Amino acid sequence: MSFGGPQWPQEPQQGQQGYGQQPGQQPGQQPGHGQPQGYGQQPEYGQQQPYGGQQGYGGPSPFPGAQAPFPGAQDPFPGAQGGGGTPDWNALAAASAGRSRRKRWLLIGGGALATLAVGAIVATAVVTTNKSNDTAKNGGGAPTGTASPIGTPTPEPTFSSVAPPPPPNPMDYITDPKKDRAPLTVEGLFPGKQMSMDKRPYKKGATSATANCAFVTQGGLGAVLERNGCQRVLRATYVKDGVAITVGIAVFPSEASALKAKTQATGGIAPLVGAGVGDFCRATVCLRRSNSIGRYAYFTQAGFANGKKVSMADKPVFQASDDLGTFAFNQIYARGRAQASAAAGAPGQ
């Protein structure tokens, strides 16, 4: 509510009469007669004054001697006559010009503030942009490549799309006689003066090699070897703690023939005596085993050096048979691995 100006009519309260009728006004009484409401007392803040409590500007007051609703309030049009005479147009023009000047200054001041705000936003944007540029300039991203001393990019390494050939398989060299061409000797298969398996040392005794495969066998093994095309047998004897073991490696023309010899094996390899090892496994019970890998079949015969019969409870004999069989397998496979490695390093391979 603005002080000194006309106000909107108040909603009628309960107990008041309808619009167009002043409180205390008799029906049919003309407005302006009787006691006016709201004049002569200070209105409460927020209470609406009846619109039209004061007649139009320039007209005589309907209540001579009544004071203004708000004592001390200035006339909104200074210089205008309060009677019914002609208004002071010069005073009104001056008041209008003053209001225009104040409005213009307000607009100018608001424009200046808006300009300052826009300037602050632009300055912030510039600072942010410069910060972003500094970050990019000082290493915001990793370089895509290295530069040579003369400033030109070094080429990226290239790789051939052709896959290299797989390394040679050692089994191929102990299976195919055309590839298995390395020298085959007793010392190559049974090197040194002893062998050790899992820290169990075995002293090597006598060794032998022969192409008469049946001559170095017992029982029906000789016939099996000859029937399957045995080409050569290489033997060695090892001893440990009163147990003697002879291992014989037989060579065949193919993997299939070696596998048949293992499957058909009967009897066993003949014990090889000498070099400090006496006769064993004759007219007694010994442990015989057979196996094959590639075109090689290998056989073991283990027993006590003093001729004692072997029983199922004699674990040292079984352990010695296992160790010498594993040793023979490893030596044959090592032969194939050595030939495969030599072929891989040879030119043109």
Q: What is the pLDDT of residues 75-120, one digit of tens each?
A: 444 544 444 456 666 776 677 767 766 666 655 565 555 555 545 5
What local confidence, expressed as pLDDT, does residue 304 receive? 96
- Quickly state the pLDDT bin for 345 (edges 50, 70, 90): confident
As for how many domains the chain has, the answer is 1
Q: Which domain holds residue 322?
A: 170-341
Tell me the percentage of the chain whose pLDDT exceeds 70: 54
Structural domain includes residue 240: yes
Q: What pLDDT does 316 receive?
A: 96
Tell which wins on pLDDT, 181 or 83: 181
pLDDT of residue 48: 43
9 vs 84, which has greater pLDDT? 84
pLDDT at residue number 11: 42
pLDDT of residue 299: 98
What is the total residue count of the chain? 349
19 has pLDDT over 60: no
CB-CB contact of 58 with 79 (8 Å): no
**Percent above pLDDT 90 for the chain:** 48
In a domain, 231, yes or no: yes
Does residue 94 form part of some domain?
no
Position 130 pLDDT exceeds 80: no
Residue 138 in this model has a pLDDT that exceeds 70: no
Decide if 245 is inside a domain: yes
Amino acid at 26: Q
| Residues near 249 by beta carbon (within 8 Å), at least 6 away in sequence | 189, 233, 234, 235, 296, 297, 298, 328, 331, 332
- Asked whether residue 42 is assigned to any structural domain, the reply reads no
Looking at the predicted structure, is the pLDDT value of residue 50 above 80?
Answer: no
pLDDT band for position 23 (cuts 50, 70, 90):
very low
Does the pTM surpass 0.75? The reply is no
In a domain, 220, yes or no: yes
- The verdict on residue 163 lying in a domain is no
**pLDDT given for residue 159 in this prediction:** 63
Q: Quick one: which of 323, 302, 324, 306 has its CA closest to 314?
A: 302
The three-state (H, E, C) secondary structure of the chain, written as one string? CCCCCCCCCCCCCCCCCCCCCCCCCCCCCCCCCCCCCCCCCCCCCCCCCCCCCCCCCCCCCCCCCCCCCCCCCCCCCCCCCCCCCCCCHHHHHHHHHHHHHHHHHHHHHHHHHHHHHHHHHHHHHHHHHHHHHHHHHCCCCCCCCCECCCCCECCCCCCCCCCCCCCCCHHHHCCCCCCCCCCCCHHHHCCCCEEEECCEEEEEEEEEEECCHHHHEECCHHHHHHHCCCCEEEEEEEEECCEEEEEEEEECCCHHHHHHHHHHCCCEECCCCECCECCCCCCCCCEEEEEEECCEEEEEEEEECCCCCCCCCCHHHHHHHHHHHHHHHHHHHHHHHHHHHHHHHCCCC
What's the pLDDT tens digit per position in 187-209?
999 999 999 999 999 999 999 99
CA angle 65, 70, 73 (to 5 degrees): 100
The answer for residues whose C-beta is within 8 angstroms of residue 208's C-beta and 6 or more apart is: 186, 216, 234, 235, 236, 272
| Residue 57 forms part of a structural domain | no
What value does the mean pLDDT of the chain take? 73
pLDDT digits (tens, 9 = 90+) for 214-258: 999 999 999 999 999 999 999 999 999 999 999 999 999 999 999
| Alpha-carbon span 49 to 55, nearest angstrom | 13
Q: Which of 127-131, 207-211, 337-341 has the lowest mean pLDDT?
A: 127-131
Reply yes or no on whether the pLDDT at 66 is more than 80: no
Task: For residue range 252-287, list pLDDT tens digits in order.
Answer: 999 999 999 999 999 999 999 999 899 999 889 999
